[in-house]
Structure 1
Amino acid sequence: MEDILEILDQLPFSKKKTVLATIIHVEGSAYKREGSCMLIAEDGTQIGMLSAGCLEEDVSWRAKEVLEKDEATVITYDLRDETDLAWGQGSGCNGILSILLQPVNERINEQLMRIKTLLDEGESILHIKRFSKDFKLISEWYCPTNGEPFGDEAFIWNPPEKFPEKDGLFYTDELNHLYIHIYRPRPRLIVFGAGEDAKPLVNIAAEVGFSVTVCDWRPALCNQMNFPNAKCFEIGFPHELGNKLSFTNNDFVILMTHHFQRDKELLSFLKQKDLNYLGVLGPRKRTARLLEEKEVPDCIFSPVGMNIHARGAEEIAISIVAEMIQVLREGEKNERKQDYWNLSCRRSE
C-alpha cells in the first residue's frame, strides 16, 4: 500500500527533525515506483523504503545535508550498472531514480497531518509538485475528493490535455515540470467470521495495508484479544449486522463463518451490495447452494483466493490477500483516469 500511510501514522509521535524522501521519477525498472516515500529522522532512523536496501544509507547521509541547509533538493541514482562499484553493489535494477528530499518544516508537517485526516475519512487526494526546469521545487498543491484544495496559493493548475498513464508521471510544459500523484486511503476489508482461520487473514491483510473490520455473533471470539491487528469489530447476527454496517464500492468482503445458515443469510444481502470484492470461503458448489443457484455469479470470488494449492489457514490467507491485491491494483489502474480528471477539473473551474 501507500508508504505515506505508515509515515503519517508515526509522524505525530516523532520529536526529531525529519526529511521526507519521495521517488518522483523512474526510468527503466526499479524495486519501487513513483510515489514511494521514506521518512528519515536526524538520528538516521527511517520509516519506509525506497529500494531493496541499496540506496537507503546514502539517502540518509544526503538527508543530513538537507536538514543543515533547510532546503529541498532532487538527487538521482543510476542503478543500471551491474558492477560492484555501482549503486546497489551489482543489483542491476536497470533503472534511474530521481528522489526528492524535503525537510519537514512546520508548514509541510501541517499539510501532512491534513492529508492524514482526509485519508482517514476515506478521501482520495490529488497531489501536484511543480519544479523549475533545473528541478528546484517551486510549489505544492493538494485537492481532496471533497473539500477545498490547499497548498501554495500561487500555484495555478492547468490540467494537461493528455492524461498521465501512471501516478508520479512527469508532465513537462514550457515553464516547469509537474509531479502528479493520487494518495488513496487504506482499502477496507470486512471479514465475516471470527474463527481460528480468520486470524492469519486479518493479520496479513492488516500488515499489507488493509483496514480490517471483523464481524461475528460471538463476542468471545470477535474481540481485540483474538484479532489485535483489526481496526473495528461488529457483534451481531446476520440480520443485525446488515443494519450496523454501510458498504461502499471500494470495500473488500470475505465470508468465512463456517456456518451454512449464517453464511446464507449474509450472502443474501451482500450479493446486493456494490462491492469491490466479495469472496466466499469453501467449494464453489457450497457457494451455489448458499445462493440456491446452479451457477455462481462472476462478481463473487468462489472459491476465494488465488489457486496456489494452499494448505492450512496461513497459506489460504496468503492466497486470499494476493487475490485482493490483484483486484485492488487492477481497479486503481482502471479508475486512475476518472479519479485524475474528477479531481483536477475541480481546480481548473
Structure 2
Amino acid sequence: MESIHSILKAIQGSAQKSVLATIIHVEGSAYLKEGTVMLFQEDGTRIGMLSAGCLEDDLALRAVNVLNKREAETFTYDMKAEDDLTWGQGAGCRGVLYILLEPVDEKLKKYLGVVKEFLDSGIPVQHVKELTNDFKQTGYGFFTATGQTFGNIDEHQIKMPENKRASGIQLVGDAPMCTYFHLYRPKPRLIVFGAGPDARPLVSFAAEIGFSVTVCDWRPAFCREEYFSSADKLTVGFPEDIVPKLELNSDDYVVIMTHHFQRDQEILSLLKNRPLRYAGILGPRKRTTRLLQTEEIPEWLHSPVGLPIGARGPQEIAISIAGELIQEAAKMKG
C-alpha cells in the first residue's frame, strides 16, 4: 500500500532536510506506478521505494543536488533495456519512468502536515501538480472532498479530472498540457475482534502493509499494548458496547477471531446490517453456518477467512488473511 503515511510521519517528526520523490508518469510497464512516493533525508535515511532497487542509489545522489539547489527537478529513467549496463539492470520492466524530486522546504512541510491531519481524520486529499511540457513543476495544490484548498495554486486554476482515483498526468479540459493528479487515501481501517495469541501476527502484518488496526476484546488480560504494539487502538469491552462506538463504514475491514461461539454469534448479529468493505471470520464454514443458524453463508462474509493457500498455524493463517485483505484493497484501486 502507499508509503505516504510513513513519509508524512517522518517529515513531521524530524528537523532534517529532505527530498520528496514522486513517480509522476510511466510509459510502458514498471515495478511501481504513478503516485508512488519516496523520501530521502539528508542523513541518508530512505523511506519507501520507487523501483525494485534499480534507481534508489542514483536518486539519492540526485536528491543531494536538489537539496543544494533548492529547486524541484524531474529525471527520466529508461527501464526498457534488458542488459546490466542500463537502468533496467536486466529486469526488463519495459517502461520509462519520470520522477520528480522536490526539496521539502518549510512551506511544503506545512502543507504536508495539513495533508497528514486530513488523512488521519479519514478524509482523502487530491494532490495536483502543474508542470511544463518538459515536466518542470510550476505549482502544486491540495484539495479535499470537504472543500478545503491549500498550496500555491487554487481550485480555480485547475479543473479536476472526472476519474479522481486515477493517478498520473492527465489532459483535463482547458488545463495545462501537463497536469499531475493523485488521490491520497486515508489508511484503511481493520478491526480485529479477538485478542488471542493468534491475532498478534495478523495485527503486525496488517499494520506493516498499511492498515490502521483496532483490536477489540472483552478480556483485558488479552487486549494489552505489550501484545499489540503495532495496533493504533485497543478497545476493551463486550461487542454490544463496542460495535456502536466504532462508527463502521463502507471502507472498513473486519476480521472475527475470538474463538468464542457466543461472542462470534453476537458480533455477526451486530455487523449483518452494517456497510463494510470486508468481513471475514476464522473457522470452518460449518461453524459459520451454525453461528448464523442458516445453511447459506451470505456474500458479505468471507468464511473461512483468508486465501486458500493451505495455511497452518497462526503465522501462516495471518499471512493468508493479510493476502486476502490486500486482494480486496486492490479492487478499490483498480
Report the TM-score, using the length of structure 2 for normalisation: 0.95
Post-superposition CA distance 1:176-209 (Å, at most 9, x none): 3011100000000000001111011000000101
Match of 2:91 in 1: 91
* Structure 2: tracts of 5 or more residues without a match: none
Confirm whether residue 180 of structure 1 aligns to residue 181 of structure 2: yes
Paired AA for residue 167 in structure 2? D
Paired AA for residue 328 in structure 2? V
Deviates more, 1:181-190 or 1:234-243: 234-243
Match of 1:340 in 2: none
Paired AA for residue 288 in structure 2? T
Is the CA contact 1:25–1:170 (under 8 Å) kept in the aligned structure 2?
A: no
CA distance in structure 2 between the partners assigned to 1:8 and 1:126 by the alignment: 15
Give 1:88 shift. Answer: 4.3
The size of the alignment, in residue pairs, is 332
Match of 1:117 in 2: 117
Deviates more, 1:199-208 or 1:34-43: 34-43
Between the two proteins, what is the percent identity of the paired residues?
52
C-alpha spacing 1:83/1:94, structure 2 compared with 1 (3 Å): same
* SS at structure 2 position matched to 1:27: strand
CA distance in structure 2 between the partners assigned to 1:174 and 1:137 by the alignment: 14
Match of 1:43 in 2: 43
Paired AA for residue 256 in structure 2? L
Match of 1:193 in 2: 194
Q: How does 1:167-316 map to 2 (within 5 A)?
A: 167-171=167-171, 175-316=176-317
Is the CA contact 2:306–2:321 (under 8 Å) kept in the aligned structure 1?
A: yes
Post-superposition CA distance 1:293-319 (Å, at most 9, x none): 110001110111111111111111111
Match of 2:133 in 1: 133
Match of 1:329 in 2: 330
* SS at structure 2 position matched to 1:267: helix
CA distance in structure 2 between the partners assigned to 1:105 and 1:136 by the alignment: 17
Match of 1:31 in 2: 31
Give 1:14 shift. Answer: 2.0
Match of 2:71 in 1: 71
CA distance in structure 2 between the partners assigned to 1:158 and 1:145 by the alignment: 14
CA distance in structure 1 between the partners assigned to 2:176 and 2:142 by the alignment: 20
CA distance in structure 2 between the partners assigned to 1:164 and 1:225 by the alignment: 40
* SS at structure 1 position matched to 2:328: helix
Is the CA contact 1:81–1:92 (under 8 Å) kept in the aligned structure 2?
A: yes
Deviates more, 1:166-175 or 1:118-127: 166-175
Paired AA for residue 229 in structure 2? P
CA distance in structure 1 between the partners assigned to 2:185 and 2:37 by the alignment: 14
C-alpha spacing 1:72/1:311, structure 2 compared with 1 (3 Å): same
Match of 1:102 in 2: 102
RMSD of the alignment, in Å? 1.6
Is the CA contact 2:158–2:175 (under 8 Å) kept in the aligned structure 1?
A: no
Higher relative contact order (CA 8 A, sep 6+): 1
Post-superposition CA distance 1:43-88 (Å, at most 9, x none): 3221111111110010011111111111111100001111121114
Post-superposition CA distance 1:24-56 (Å, at most 9, x none): 011122111111111112232211111111100
CA distance in structure 2 between the partners assigned to 1:57 and 1:14 by the alignment: 22
C-alpha spacing 1:129/1:238, structure 2 compared with 1 (3 Å): same
* SS at structure 2 position matched to 1:50: coil
Paired AA for residue 276 in structure 1? R
CA distance in structure 1 between the partners assigned to 2:301 and 2:40 by the alignment: 43
Match of 2:14 in 1: 14
Deviates more, 1:54-63 or 1:237-246: 237-246
Give 1:164 shift. Answer: 7.1
Is the CA contact 1:191–1:213 (under 8 Å) kept in the aligned structure 2?
A: yes
Post-superposition CA distance 1:258-280 (Å, at most 9, x none): 01011111110111111110101
Deviates more, 1:12-21 or 1:112-121: 12-21
Give 1:242 shift. Answer: 2.8
CA distance in structure 2 between the partners assigned to 1:289 and 1:117 by the alignment: 44
Give 1:220 shift. Answer: 0.6
Is the CA contact 2:243–2:270 (under 8 Å) kept in the aligned structure 1?
A: yes
* Structure 1: tracts of 5 or more residues without a match: 334-349
Paired AA for residue 152 in structure 1? N
CA distance in structure 1 between the partners assigned to 2:295 and 2:90 by the alignment: 56
Paired AA for residue 96 in structure 1? V
